[in-house]
Amino acid sequence: MKKSTKLMSLLFVSMALFAFTFASCDDDEKAKIDLSFDKSSVELAVGETTTVTVKNGTSPYTATSGDTEKATVTVATNKITVKGVKEGTTTVTVKDKNNNNGKITVKVTAADE
């Protein structure tokens, strides 16, 4: 009886360790990457728009302007459209589905008259 109990205990502990090993292998452990773009910085005049293409990562993407008074952004698939609002500089942060991110430097100049 003691031998059977020890064997069952050992089997239970082995199964628990096996389950823990696979439970800890989660998608969250994927290596993080820096997103890359066809342009790492852009310069545009107030009222102009330009498009930056994300070259890697996993869709869907989100983009956030560090200062929406200087520039606004929209996303369509892997295209980030930046619109100059007011003179100055800001940074656009782009994230993908896996929370990888990259930054685009934006300089907005005076509109041509």
Q: CA-CA distances (angstroms) from residue 15 to 12, 21, 80?
A: 5, 10, 48
Check residue 95 and give its pLDDT: 97
Q: How far apart are CA 36 and CA 39, in angstroms?
A: 8
Check residue 112 and give its pLDDT: 79
Check residue 29 and give its pLDDT: 56
Check residue 21 and give its pLDDT: 59
Check residue 5 and give its pLDDT: 76
C-alpha R_g of the chain: 25
Check residue 6 and give its pLDDT: 72
State pLDDT tens for residues 39-59: 999 999 999 999 999 999 999
105 Cα distance to chain centroid: 16
Q: How far apart are CA 64 and CA 86, in angstroms?
A: 16
Residues of the chain with pLDDT under 70: 1-3, 7, 10-14, 16-30, 113
Q: At which residue do the structure tokens 């606004």 appear?
A: 72
Report all structural domains of the chain as residue ranges with CATH numbers, in order of start. Answer: 41-109 (2.60.40.1080)
Check residue 80 and give its pLDDT: 98
**DSSP per position, 31-66:** PP-B--BS-SEEEEETT-EEEEEB-SS-S--EEEES
63 Cα distance to chain centroid: 9
Asked if residues 106 and 89 have their Cβ atoms less than 8 Å apart, the reply is yes
Asked if residues 60 and 35 have their Cβ atoms less than 8 Å apart, the reply is no
